[in-house]
Amino acid sequence: MSKEKVVLAYSGGLDTTAIIPWLKETFGYDVICCCIDCGQGEELDGLDERAKLSGASKLYIENIVDEFAEDFIMPCVKAGAVYENQYLLGTSMARPAIAKKLVEIARKEGAVAICHGATGKGNDQIRFELGIKALAPDIKIIAPWRMTDLWTMQSREDEIEYCKKHGIDLPFDTKHSYSRDRNLWHISHEGLELEDPSVEPNYDDLLVLSVAPEKAPDEPEYVTMTFEAGVPKTINGKAMKVADIITELNKLGGKHGIGIIDIVENRVVGMKSRGVYETPGGTILMAAHQQLEELILDRATYEVKKEMGNKLAQVVYEGKWFTPLCEAIRAFVDVTQQYVTGEVKFKLYKGNIIKAGETSPYSLYSESLASFTTGDMYDHHDADGFITLFGLPLKVRAMKMQELAKENQK
């Protein structure tokens, strides 16, 4: 009789490596490892050998970089979704993309369960599991770090010792380092000195994609981008797909110290956590998109879209990607993007993105209206009636307060 199968979200790190023999020993499962490539780069090197050495029967390495860029990143860019005014959702956007692929592999393999290595303190357990529940409510979810009666390892030392006992000698040591998550969009850093909010980050050791702004070049660099319906199409005249545009912007932004944030954020589970995020390309792309939108969207639409962007950021941060609310917000945003087409120019200089002009065939900006010279479309006298009506509630209230004040003085 064949064993039941479990699909493990596998990163190749110590946690998920130790989980392989643990799943076999604890549940008797046939372990199918699945590594989802969202743009981690060299982190994927040597995974096949490591997974097999650890006892996995099979390893999938699924490249979803383009899908991640086009179907998960771009909806958030078009919405201007930023969590707590700073965080550009790099990890949050990737988790539903990963959950979707895990479910696909589980269906393909006929697996009865999906396992992840997220801890019981973080947001990722919620994001993975809400995605799996939404797409495959019948599949069992295994979260070892929450199963403290069965998962007894509490440290890297424990995990390394466990692996050695199972004949797995891997290139991990007990040296503590930052906890990082990397993909096409960003890299996050937690741990070490970052656990104390009073301590300045050690950027010389910490940064991976970027340089600190003070170490960036002394000369600014101009960049030109074009968009069609809210989607980036070219950089400096060269047409590229979205994933390649983000990759190129990462190089440019990293060079000039763009997109480094140090934030104490509110996790879904209720605690505050401190992290440093490097999002060089994403910060540029968001700024360039907003720069163009300013020309095109009318005031009322722009106002509601800002609210929807904030709401989408919360929805995505909380792992609710596969929900009717998320779908509805994205549909609203897509309508606002129909005419977000044009060109933007800006310069990068020591951590700053400085506007250098923008044009669009759909621009609502009228030079004749905006200038101090009176034009045919605007008569200054029209403002008299407008201000009278616009200020009528204020005036009525002020008159009433004056009337009451006089009565009180009698």
Active-site positions read: 15, 95, 124, 179
SS (H, E, C) the chain: CCCCEEEEECCCCHHHHHHHHHHHHHHCCEEEEEEEECCCHHHHCCHHHHHHHCCCCEEEEEECHHHHHHHHHHHHHHHCCCECCCECCHHHHHHHHHHHHHHHHHHHHCCCEEECCCCCCCCHHHHHHHHHHHHCCCCEEECHHHCCCCCCCCCHHHHHHHHHHCCCCCCCCCCCCCEEEECCCCEEEECHHHHCCCCCCCHHHHCCCCCCHHHCCCCCEEEEEEEECCEEEEECCEECCHHHHHHHHHHHHHHCCCCEEEEEEECCCCCEEEEEEECHHHHHHHHHHHHHHHHHCCHHHHHHHHHHHHHHHHHHHCCCCCCHHHHHHHHHHHHHCCCCCEEEEEEEECCEEEEEEEECCCCCCCHHHHCCCCCCCCCCCHHHHHHHHHCHHHHHHHHHHHHHHHHHHC
